[in-house]
């Protein structure tokens, strides 16, 4: 009787785990499909960042205090989404405050396409511990005017 009870308990646990695992796998697959496009954007953005941005903001995104603002852990990036997109798309001139530090320098327009702008922002938004939930799209960049 004990063996039969243990066998039934084992089967119930196994079946329950299998069903739970199948649900989790399905959800993970859906998430993976969504994130594959973002992952490709981030990969393209890394190359753009290394070519255009790292000379000022450094390869680790920490910037240079008082000169070039940090992108790593930047409150300005996470709280000023439209201004961030505009800065990358159109450049920026004049004072801004990032993480309590004032920066007053010129960042020229880099001449990137809307897709390249979205890619480099997706890279920055998902690097160095940054985590911005909503990916930037080329359409969102296109909607930002000078």
- Each residue of 87-137: pLDDT tens digit? 999 999 999 999 999 999 999 999 999 999 999 999 999 999 999 989 999
Q: Which residue has the tokens 């959800």?
A: 27
Which residues pair with residue 104 across a beta bridge?
Answer: 95
What is the DSSP track for 67-114? Answer: TB---TT-HHHHH-HHHHHHHHHH-EEEEEEETTEEEEEEE------H
pLDDT band at 2 (very low <50, low <70, confident <90, very high): low
| Residue in 98, 143, 92, 137 with CA at minimum distance from that of residue 119 | 137
* Residues 64-88: tens digit of each pLDDT: 999 999 999 999 988 999 999 999 9
Positive or negative CA dihedral for 36, 134, 26, 127?
A: positive
* The predicted structure's pLDDT at residue 79: 93
Alpha-carbon dihedral sign for residues 111, 114, 116, 122: positive
φ, ψ dihedrals at 132, nearest 5°: -105, 120
pLDDT tens sequence across 7-61: 333 434 444 444 444 443 333 333 444 489 999 999 999 999 999 999 999 999 9
The CATH topology of domain 2-142 is Cytochrome Bc1 Complex; Chain D, domain 2 (1.10.760)
> Using CB atoms within 10 A of its CB, is residue 138 exposed (0-12), middle (13-18) or buried (19+)?
middle
Which residues, 6 or more positions from 58, have their beta carbon under 8 angstroms from its beta carbon?
Answer: 64, 68
48 neighbors 123 (Cβ within 8 angstroms) = yes
């Amino acid at each position: 009787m004990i063996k039969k009870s243990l066998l039934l308990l084992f089967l119930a646990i196994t079946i329950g785990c299998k069903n739970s695992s199948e649900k989790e796998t399905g959800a993970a697959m859906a998430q993976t499909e969504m994130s594959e496009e973002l992952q490709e954007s981030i990969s393209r953005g890394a190359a753009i960042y290394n070519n255009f941005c790292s000379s000022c903001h450094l390869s680790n995104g920490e910037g240079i205090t008082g000169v070039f603002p940090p992108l790593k852990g930047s409150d300005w990036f996470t709280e000023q989404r439209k201004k961030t997109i505009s800065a990358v798309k159109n450049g920026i001139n004049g004072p801004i405050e990032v993480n309590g530090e004032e920066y007053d320098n010129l960042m020229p327009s880099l001449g990137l396409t809307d897709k390249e702008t979205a890619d480099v922002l997706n890279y920055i938004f998902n690097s160095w511990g940054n985590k911005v939930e909503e990916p930037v799209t080329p359409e969102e960049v296109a909607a930002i005017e000078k």
